[in-house]
Amino acid sequence: MNAEMPRMPVAPQHALPALACDTHCHVFGPYDRFPLQHPSSYAAPDAPVDRYLRMLDTLGAARGVLVQPAPYGVNPAALLDALAQGGDRLRGIAVADPSVTDAQLQAMVDGGVRGLRFLEARDPAGNLFPGSVGFGQLAALAPRMKQFGLHAQLWAPCDAYVQHLPALAALDVPIVIDHLGSVVPARGEQDPAFQLLHRLLAEGRIWMKLTLCRVGAAPDYENARFIHDAYTTANPDQVLWGSDWPFVRMGASAPSADALVDVAYDWLGNEGLRKKVWVDNPARLYGFA
């Protein structure tokens, strides 16, 4: 297949702290070994693990978390292969439905998987993206996720959180929210979705990924700064940074990951908060030594 070359970064202007972690990236391919399992709703990138590791090295990120993309469905082969090549440097978020066996879950955990991803993102016809597992499957999996030490990672339009998150946050597994909760900056601070996410984060009931490029407007993302700053103030111990490389669905508008590092460095504002967001919080959640 003809895959697109993802945008590669240059070195950021600011140095990341030692043991910094990029908590949100994806690998695709090599497609001759790891073909997609489902039709992709976006142009699949040429983003194998060696290219991903070069990206981390360029940013100065010692650690990384790989998130299984929907076109691979519930087949974790590409993810587990990448985790094996990265060694203790990497952790993973896989995808599974309630038919997964305990042996399969154990193999994932042994391979570096620390969570399962659930999506409530739908196409214009109202169908889940092919290969994804919806929020409705989480409750059935939650007892075994707790048994295996796995958290739940959620991605959805912000209004879906208003509908689903109060019940999901009551399950006895940690919840990690992707992409600033997909909040719409133009709705402002009184938006019910933002209010809910902010409250649950402040109460310690969810974690939040500060993946800015899906919410803010490039190049400075200033329209989303109030969201970012509200989250980091609400609970600095449960926020995480991720680039979202290789920026699927973004095409020519894909940012450069180094620019995202520099924006975060400026916004976080002090070494203590930078160390929490880039080092301490991901080490605790993903089990880095």
Range of the domain at 110: 21-286
Please report whether residue 5 resides in a domain.
Answer: no
Please report whether residue 54 resides in a domain.
Answer: yes
Q: What's the pLDDT tens digit per position in 159-190?
A: 999 999 999 999 999 999 999 999 999 999 99
Please report whether residue 273 resides in a domain.
Answer: yes
Q: What's the pLDDT tens digit per position in 7-65?
A: 999 999 999 999 999 999 999 999 999 999 988 888 889 999 999 999 999 999 999 99
3-state secondary structure of 67: strand
Please report whether residue 3 resides in a domain.
Answer: no
Indicate whether 95 pLDDT > 90.
yes
Please report whether residue 217 resides in a domain.
Answer: yes
Q: Report the C-alpha gap between 23 and 261 in whole angstroms.
A: 12
Q: Indicate the pLDDT class of residue 1, thresholds 50, 70 and 90.
A: low
Residue 123, pLDDT score = 82
Q: How many independent structural domains does the chain possess?
A: 1
Please report whether residue 120 resides in a domain.
Answer: yes
CATH number at residue 191: 3.20.20.140
CA distances from 11 to 32, 60, 88, 166, 278 (A): 31, 8, 23, 40, 17
Please report whether residue 36 resides in a domain.
Answer: yes
DSSP 38: S
Q: What's the pLDDT tens digit per position in 181-240?
A: 999 999 999 999 999 999 999 999 999 999 999 999 999 999 999 999 999 999 999 999
DSSP 173: S
Q: Report the C-alpha gap between 148 and 145 in whole angstroms.
A: 5
Please report whether residue 183 resides in a domain.
Answer: yes
